Amino acid sequence: MAGATLSAPTATGAALAQAAPQQATSFTGKLVIIIPYVFLLVFFLVPFFIVFKISLSQTAIAMPPYTPALDFSGGISGIVGQLRELNFDNYLFLTEDPLYLNAYITSVIVAGISTLLTLLVGYPIAYGMSRAPATLRPTLLMLVILPFWTSFLIRVYAWIGILKPEGLLNQLLMSTGIISEPLIILNTYTAIFIGIVYSYLPFMVLPLYSALEKMDYSLVEAAQDLGCPPTTAFWKITFPMSLPGVLAGCLLVFIPAVGEFVIPDLLGGSQTLMIGRTLWNEFNANRDWPVSSAVAVLLLLVLIVPIVIFQHAQARAQEQGR
């Protein structure tokens, strides 16, 4: 009886000791999930709400240069009254002025072409890195990341010295007799493409390298043993298996390229019509914060909506594949 009496507390202690690690694991799992949501709340939703709030206000000669909208000091009744008085004149103004529509379209086109060029340049680099000897891969990876150790602004300014009429590129081509007069590259869209491809190339190479390095190349060897030409094996095996890296790299290049300001301003000149420069002009030159906030909100929607649609389509494809 004494042994039976002592066995109950012992079993309870063992159960508590076993439940403690499970509770700790459960708390850690919840914490891992909560942290990204808190990050998005603080650094995305709150700034987005502030910008959206400014976009609903009206321009004023004051500091800050707009009339406050959605003032929460009046309580719930005051907020309801303000909601009834809200207007979307700034968004309607964007549809009436062709400048903004042209800037959006130009930015998307430039970003799309730049993303395609970055993919064409980055894929062979990533493929070569993935097929290089294992001892050499860390060095090649470091060389890809190395430009990040230098200021982005300094790297863009360096391209001015390379592309200007009396720059290094024209001097090299003229000294070798390839051209007889300097090429006009600076202050053109060609210079913008060069700057974006150079600046965002690591963002394309790294996801591609990650996808290609994990690929089982024995499948390619098996296809070639069965008589499949190398080019056909690449398009039927290698490229489809690297699509996750291709899509990730394209998104990492396309999204920041649409709103790029520094490269179009320095390499494209003052006549370049892109939404990043238009946004900067509205904020700083015109000091029209409500309209510029509306431009920023629409730019964010232009970028987010396609991504959400793409993720939804991917999720449906994965479910159908199961």
DSSP sequence for 50-65: HHHHHHTS-B-SSSSS
Taking only the tens place, the pLDDT of each residue in 101-160 is: 899 999 999 999 999 999 999 999 999 999 999 899 999 999 999 888 888 999 999 999
* Separation between Cα atoms, residue 196 and residue 157, nearest integer Å: 13
Q: Which residues contact 215 (CB under 8 A, 6 or more apart)?
A: 130, 238, 241, 242
Model confidence at 82: pLDDT above 80: no
**What's the predicted TM-score (pTM) here?**
0.81
Neighbours of 46 (CB within 10 A): 11
Neighbours of 261 (CB within 10 A): 14
Taking only the tens place, the pLDDT of each residue in 21-37 is: 566 567 677 777 888 88
Confidence of residue 16 (pLDDT cuts 50, 70, 90): very low
* Separation between Cα atoms, residue 300 and residue 93, nearest integer Å: 18
- Which is more confident, 96 or 317? 96
Structure tokens at 111: 């970003």
Structure tokens at 186: 């600076």
Question: For 311, how many CA atoms within 13 A lie in the half-sphere containing its CB?
Answer: 8
Confidence of residue 6 (pLDDT cuts 50, 70, 90): very low
- Please give the domain boundaries of the chain with CATH numbers for all domains: 2-55+88-319 (1.10.3720.10)
**167 burial via Cβ count (<10 Å: 0-12, 13-18, 19+):** middle
